[in-house]
Amino acid sequence: MKWQKSTIYYKKEIFTHNNVLCQLIKTFLFAFILLACFCLYLIVMAIVAKTSGNASEWYHSPIALAFFLRFSLINKILAIILSCIFCVSIYRFRKKLVQYENFNEIKSIKNNAVLTVIFSVVAILLLTLFINLMIVFINQNYYYIKRIHNLLIPVRINEIKILEYSYIYLLHCGFYILLTVFIAKFVHDKRSMIKVLSLYLFINFILMIIGTSFTFLEHTNFYNGMLTYWTTFSCGLLYPEIINDNFQWISSFNYNLKNTIYENNFIAYLPYFCSFIILIILIKKVSWKSITISSNSYQDHFESKYLFKLS
């Protein structure tokens, strides 16, 4: 009897385009179902605004929810959940591709598949925006509540507001898409997935508290409008989602383009563009972490140091 070091090989499945398409559909189906539900929720908010006739843009009004015009715990929590689910789906998709024997040859196709998912998400969000704009701006019959006297004032939302609503909606959605791709690059196994997503949720939770605290300060004696403005603006440079309803719209519904851009504090959303540039640079610089596979799952081979061989 003689001890001999041997190697046992496990044959993998060969990659085909149909395989990656099948894996793509299976992996992202649940995420896209939730995305469709989220977009349906936004459309329902636009319909509620249309049927109720409430043109208010304050706080949790239907129009504010439909276009992300205000800081909303509901919108933010749903967006964070969607972001986390897409991170997990990207990781699962990359992990499934490792089973293919010619995995190293299909990296470009894997990247193209991820880009396909991103473009699909963008297309769905743009379609939702288009539907909401059509609902809100066609055949208007709105009123505005004058808070001082609690009067209902008939009002027409100027079509130039399409620019404002689209601008803020796209800023929010674009930020979460870039952030999701960036975070997904660090997820390479279950342990890293738990760590990265836990840290992501914790940071968002802290920032939600900070953002909400600004709103509460408005109703106290310590509130200072200018101080709050620049504090929010400065914090927004680090994480633009902290920008919330501290930037109130001053303009009326009938202002022209010049007044709309100036009065509506479009400059307050400059931190988003700073974050976009930083995230795009980081996404290009940071490479995808290699997927680690457990020994009981897909692997090329393993070595058994002690196998019996009769001589």
Cα separation, 91 vs 187, in Å, equals: 6
Mean pLDDT of 122-150: 87
Tell me if 274 is assigned to some domain: yes
Cα separation, 33 vs 89, in Å, equals: 12
Mean pLDDT of 283-288: 85
DSSP element (H, E) containing 191: helix 190-217
Full residue range of the structural domain in which residue 171 is found: 8-290
Looking at residue 172, what is its pLDDT? 86
Cα separation, 282 vs 276, in Å, equals: 10
Tell me if 108 is assigned to some domain: yes
Tell me if 61 is assigned to some domain: yes
Q: What spatial distance separates the first Cα and last Cα of the chain, rounded to whole Å?
A: 6
Most confidently predicted of 2-16, 89-103, 125-139: 125-139
Contacts of 40 (CB under 8 A, 6+ apart): none
Tell me if 258 is assigned to some domain: yes
**pLDDT averaged over the chain?**
75
Tell me if 218 is assigned to some domain: yes
| CA-based nearest residue to 259, from 109, 126, 116, 158 | 158
Looking at residue 276, what is its pLDDT? 84
pLDDT tens figures, 41-79: 999 999 999 998 888 777 678 898 899 887 677 888 899
Residue 5 pLDDT greater than 50, yes or no: no
Mean pLDDT of 211-238: 65
Residue predicted with more confidence, 43 or 142 = 43
Tell me if 65 is assigned to some domain: yes
Tell me if 311 is assigned to some domain: no
Q: How many structural domains comprise the chain? A: 1
pTM of this structure: 0.77
Tabulate helix, strand, coil % of the chain (nearest 5): 65, 10, 25
Cα separation, 255 vs 152, in Å, equals: 19
Looking at residue 227, what is its pLDDT? 67
pLDDT tens figures, 152-182: 778 888 888 888 888 889 988 998 999 999 9
Tell me if 116 is assigned to some domain: yes
| CA-based nearest residue to 288, from 99, 120, 107 | 107
User: Dihedrals φ, ψ of 37, to 5°?
Assistant: -65, -40
Looking at residue 149, what is its pLDDT? 67
Residue with tokens 């297309």: 123
Residue 4 pLDDT greater than 50, yes or no: no
